[in-house]
Every structure is written in C-alpha cells, then in structure tokens.
Amino acid sequence: MTATPSTSAPAPDHHTLLACLEAEITLLSDFVGALQKEADVLSAGAELSALETVTNEKNRFAEKLDQHSAQRNTLLDAMGYAPDRSGLVAAAAAHPLLADAVQQVLDTTRQASLLNTGNGQIIERFLKHHGQALDILHHLTGRSQLYDARGRTRPTAAPRTGHSKSA
C-alpha cells in the first residue's frame, strides 16, 4: 500500500510566527515614527500640507498593520491559539523563543496607541478652537449660516441706503 502525497500545506510553526512578528515589529516601529511626525506637525501649528502628508503616511502604515495583524492572527489560529492578544501571549508562553518578539509587539503597540490618542486630543482642541472662531465670525457678521440648505452661499442682504420711497 503506497501513501498518497498530502496536498495540504504543513501547519505553521513557531518559527513562522516569529518571522511574522519580526516583520510586524518593523511595521509598528515605522507606524510609531509616523505618529511622532504627526505629533511634531501638530505641535508646530498643523501646517495643512505637512499634516496631509504625514496623515497619508500614517494611514498607509495603519492599513499595512491591519493586513499584517490579520496574517498573524491566521497563523495563531492555525497553530491552535486564539487569534488575539491572549493567543499571542499563550504562544509566547508555550514557545519561549517568541517571548521577546511578543513583548516588543505589545510594547510598541501600546506606545502607538498612546501617541495616537495624544494626537487625537490635539486635533480635537484644534477643531474646538476653529469651531469657536467660526461661531464668533458668524455672530460678528450677523449670519447664523454661511451656506443655504443646498450648500450654496447665501446672498448677503443689500446694504441700506437710507432712502425710502414715499407712498
């Protein structure tokens, strides 16, 4: 009796997961760098073109990280671990070779989260400040709206000339 060759790929092992984690650490470090650039731009006054550039860079890294974490979670699941933080910690406990990389992923993720939260708070302050400035301008111009319901600029009232027609 001859054995038929298996057509399924072998289950991933902890070495495959380690390579995935190392790539994720690089992406996370790049993402943290983009968040730090964003913080610098925001603290320098949020010049629009610089903010747009750094936000696009940050969003590209965030997209890559989403894809990569999905890949990591697929590996964890294939290895019999939960496809989340608890599975990652369990894999590190079962395979000490993973411990440093897992800790670095967790630490860098925490750092990115703190930076992103801080940047979000700065942006909220900018939005609040600009909203208040617009409210003041609306009040000073005597207009509660600058645009009509269709998004078009409302015509301003004709200036009063002081002349009136007698009937």
C-alpha 120/C-alpha 53 separation (Å) is: 17
Residues 5 and 72 sit within 8 Å (Cβ to Cβ): no
Note the pLDDT of residue 5. Answer: 46
Q: What is the CATH classification number for the domain harbouring 40?
A: 1.20.58
| Domain contains 72 | yes
For the cut 50, the answer to whether the pLDDT of residue 160 exceeds it is no
| Domain contains 145 | no
Whether the predicted model's global pTM rises above the 0.75 cut: no
Note the pLDDT of residue 89. Answer: 96
For the cut 70, the answer to whether the pLDDT of residue 152 exceeds it is no
Is the four-CA dihedral 82, 87, 91, 93 of positive or negative sign?
negative
Other residues' Cβ atoms within 10 Å of the Cβ of residue 138: 13
pLDDT digits (tens, 9 = 90+) for 70-123: 999 999 999 999 999 999 999 999 999 999 999 999 999 999 999 999 888 877
How many domains would you assign to the chain? 1
Residue among 25, 42, 5, 16 at smallest CA distance from 100: 25
Note the pLDDT of residue 49. Answer: 80
**Cα-to-chain-centroid distance, residue 116:** 7
Query: Which residue range is the domain that position 54 belongs to?
Result: 14-119
| Domain contains 1 | no
pLDDT digits (tens, 9 = 90+) for 13-24: 889 999 999 999
The half-sphere exposure of 164 on its side-chain side, counting CA atoms within 13 A, is: 3
What is the rounded (10 degree) CA torsion for 125, 127, 133, 135? -120
| Domain contains 94 | yes
Paired strand residues for 147: 153
| Domain contains 126 | no
Tokens of 90: 């369990």
- Range name among 37-41, 49-53, 82-86 with the lowest pLDDT average: 49-53
C-alpha 58/C-alpha 41 separation (Å) is: 13
| Domain contains 113 | yes
As a residue count, the chain comes to 167
pLDDT digits (tens, 9 = 90+) for 56-67: 999 999 999 999
- Residue 136 confidence class, pLDDT cut points 50, 70, 90: low
What is the rounded (10 degree) CA torsion for 26, 30, 31, 34? 180
| Domain contains 150 | no
| Domain contains 85 | yes
